[in-house]
A and B are shown apart, each in its own frame.
Chain A
Amino acid sequence: MPKSLPTESLLKVRDLSMRFGGLLAVDGVALDVNEREIVSVIGPNGAGKTTVFNCISGFYTPTGGDIIYKGQSIHGLADFKISRLGMVRTFQHVRLFSQMTVIENLLVAQHRHVNTNLLAGLFKTPSYRQKEQESIDRAIYWLKKVNLLEFANREAGNLAYGQQRRLEIARCMVTEPGLLMLDEPAAGLNPKETNELDALIVSLKEDYNVSILLIEHDMGLVMGISDRIVVINQGRPLATGTPNEIRDNPDVIKAYLGEV
């Protein structure tokens, strides 16, 4: 059950809007993610959830509103800089480096933690070796955590779909993020894999102090793990609250049933 501790707000989104020509895909969305909290964003297809993610992670520059991460406004900041602040995301469609091996995927993700000095690398200085070893160790640690260690040398594109999804999460985690943003991580998973994902997400929060912003259509998963839920419909915020509040909200029920 959600603890109502006075936690500090990690991510604060206010009045976010995103316009594509004539289409207002996101309109006035607000969101808060506190430290060690799982917040879900739900809504019918085309509601604008992924667009919200793209705005927060800097892939789009929002046409309006504020995004504040750890007290710092990140509006208009380049995507890779936002990621370096500690907000890392996955994609609705898996985006692995499919021709690289599993472990290489995790090493690329640690690019800015390793020694990228060219001369150090050419001469294999001790500090270079040490950094490489550290990143390999971190990669191994996370491969164990997501049960992929035995596939470390396999090409990422040859993994089963569920494994690719887990690898994508591990690839985010090696960057040691403060906020992990997952776009429909359970899509295409079987029930067993969904349960494992559920446990993994909870463990990330409990054991690694990572906050999680989750887009998901699997209501069982969302209701089970979320501390709070934000519902978006046609780009506009429809409701915000605990899973129980959302479950009973007549507007939400209408939006979902109306869509069917």
Chain B
Amino acid sequence: MKDKFIPALIAGVATLILAFPLLGLNLVSDGLGLGIEGADTQTMIYIVLASLAVFIFQLFKENALNIAKNIPLPRRAYKPDAVVSQAQRDKNEKLFTFIIVAIALVWPFFASRGNVDLATLVLIYVMLGLGLNIVVGLAGLLDLGYVAFYAVGAYSYALLHQYFGLSFWVCLPLAGLMAASFGFVLGFPVLRLRGDYLAIVTLGFGEIIRILLNNWTHLTGGPNGIGSIPKPALFGLEFGRKAKEEGNIAFHEYFNIAYNSSYKVIFLYLLALLLVLFTIFVIRRLMRMPVGRAWEALREDEIACRSLGLNRTIIKLSAFTIGASFAGFAGAFFSAKQGFISPESFTFIESAIILAIVVLGGMGSQLGIILAAIAMTVLPELAREFQEYRMLMFGLMMVLMMIWRPQGLLPMKRRHMELTNA
């Protein structure tokens, strides 16, 4: 106890010293100059209480952590492999997926506009999380600049529309292709680097793209961004009040119903859902294909892979490129949904959030990533009034996760290939 007392005291006092100038003193404008004023008594009391809390926590840290460790973990619904065969598991999974998709399809017609809009945002993050998961979770490459590919996708659509008048549906695959090419070009030189070095170079790449978009004013509009990007149309039907493109008809006119702006929101949601389902399907396939096996093998033992004739650069590059292409799709959808994009939307914090989704979800697991994307997008929205403390909560959540569940919410339970006919 005694040996813990001194460090705990130091931690408490340190909190006091840090918190007092930060929270306990306010800057007030005093005519032309600035004056300093002590905060109200309540804040002071909180500061003292916080220091006390830190002191007590440090004192009983070990016990507290033990308790945290003993909190029962959320277990996966299914039983061990020995009991449930893979075939049965697949069947359960299919049923489960079917129910979830059915709910997701019907839900927006009953939900409020704001909620559907938020859900669309969640779906964008799901797509980004799934895409980055290929790179980080499956291939084991730490990419801190994933947002760059998102930006490439978003600007691809915005610019192709602005300069060539191409529609969303033409631009969607092109945006994926553009992002993939950027992934390829960047990946080629840097995938020789490992771990931290790769992380730093990708971080730099993310910033370079953003700065480029910011400064290439005559092409991208610089910080002013690009506006009036059209929403996607459904087979020539537009969801605005009036059809903007020639030859298109407004949705409500075609069906002879009253104009309702929530049709557009619901349509965007369903489109995002479709893209997410497409992403999930493709990635699941990839995981069972030779390339997916190779990603996993490379993550497990690179030396063994080389000894068996696997070209690690090509394999890593494929993960990087495919991962980037999903960010490209997500980006194109994002710019269509927002109708306006600027470099502001593609800062490092976005990369960090996407990475947090992957880590929180449990690297590699798709369901985990979906849950994490929901948590990372909906919780801050619910806690609007704590906006200022968002980063603080973000950090706290990460620390707690590292202690309580370092492997993520739902660590990947890989579907093994199984022999049945042997």
Contact = CB atoms under 8 A, between A and B. Distances in A.
A binds B: yes
Nearest to B297: A108
Interface stretch (A9-17, A31-39, A68-76, A91-99): A91-99
Interface string B357-374: 000000000000000000
B418 interface: yes
Contacts of A153: 416, 418-419
B308 interface: yes
Contact of B309 (A59, A111, A149): A111
Contacts of A132: 290
Given A121-B285, A122-B285, A99 B414 contact: yes
A258 to B, nearest CB: 33
A100 B290 contact: no
A116 interface: yes
A109 B417 contact: no
A88 B308 contact: yes
Interface stretch (A78-86, A195-203, A215-223): A78-86
B294 interface: yes
Given A80-B306, A108-B310, A175-B308, A101 B418 contact: yes
Contact of A104 (B301, B305, B312, B417): B417
Interface residues of B, number: 30
Contact of B291 (A81, A84, A121, A175): A121
Contacts of B286: 118, 121-122
Contacts of B294: 108, 111
Contacts of B422: 140, 149, 152
A57 B304 CA distance: 12
A228 to B, nearest CB: 24
A98 B300 contact: yes
A59 B304 CA distance: 11
A51 interface: no
Contacts, number: 108
Q: Is the interface of B mostly helix, strand, loop or mixed?
A: helix
A55 interface: no
Contact of B417 (A83, A103, A171, A172): A103
B282 A101 contact: no
A45 to B, nearest CB: 22
Task: Determine which residue in A57, A121, A149, A175 has the highest number of CB atoms from chain B within 10 A of its CB, and name it.
Answer: A121
A136 interface: yes
A3 interface: no
A183 B285 CA distance: 37
Contacts of A81: 309
Given A111-B310, A114-B290, A122-B285, 17 more contacts: A81-B309, A83-B309, A95-B307, A97-B300, A97-B304, A100-B297, A100-B300, A101-B417, A103-B418, A108-B293, A109-B308, A111-B294, A118-B286, A122-B286, A136-B419, A140-B419, A175-B309
22 contacts: A80-B308, A81-B309, A83-B306, A88-B309, A91-B303, A91-B304, A95-B303, A96-B304, A97-B304, A100-B293, A100-B296, A111-B290, A111-B309, A112-B309, A116-B290, A116-B291, A118-B291, A121-B290, A153-B416, A153-B419, A155-B416, A175-B308
